[in-house]
Amino acid sequence: MISINGTTLPSTTTYKVSIQDLSKGERNVNGLLLLERIATKRKIDLGWKMLTQAQFATILNLVSAVFFEVEYQDPQAGRKTGTFYAGDRTAPALFYSNGMVQYSEVSFSIIER
């Protein structure tokens, strides 16, 4: 469903696309809103459950650059490509066994540049 820099990510358990309008607005002397839409951007919330350390490391490495190319499924435009950056990444560990960490969930958002 989604790839970063040409690498297909594992199937997600959370995939939510938000369509965000960036606007500049002010009211005139009559109280009417004057609104200028500057751009429309995408924010994608991603989440995975039960990843291994190696899978999580792969995903983190793909989003470690300041900006990266994403190909994704957009609800409005179909298959789409864009330049994104990653928000804060969280990964609660479930357990540690035989030198390996099992993560219960990994989640973060990527935001269109």
| CATH annotation of 2-112 | 2.40.30
What is residue 87's three-state secondary structure? coil
The answer to whether residue 46 scores a pLDDT higher than 80 is: yes
Residues 13, 50: Cα–Cα separation, whole Å: 10
Q: Which residues contact 6 (CB under 8 A, 6 or more apart)?
A: 69
The answer to whether residue 101 scores a pLDDT higher than 90 is: no
User: Domain extents for the chain?
Assistant: 2-112
Give pLDDT tens digits for 61-79: 999 999 999 999 999 999 9
| pLDDT given at position 17 | 97
The answer to whether residue 81 scores a pLDDT higher than 90 is: yes
| pLDDT given at position 40 | 96
Task: Tell which residue, 89, 10, 15, has the closest CA to residue 51.
Answer: 10
| pLDDT given at position 52 | 78
The answer to whether residue 100 scores a pLDDT higher than 80 is: no
The answer to whether residue 39 scores a pLDDT higher than 90 is: yes
* Pairing assessment for the beta strands 14-27 and 68-74 based on DSSP bridges: unpaired
Mean pLDDT computed over every residue of the chain: 93
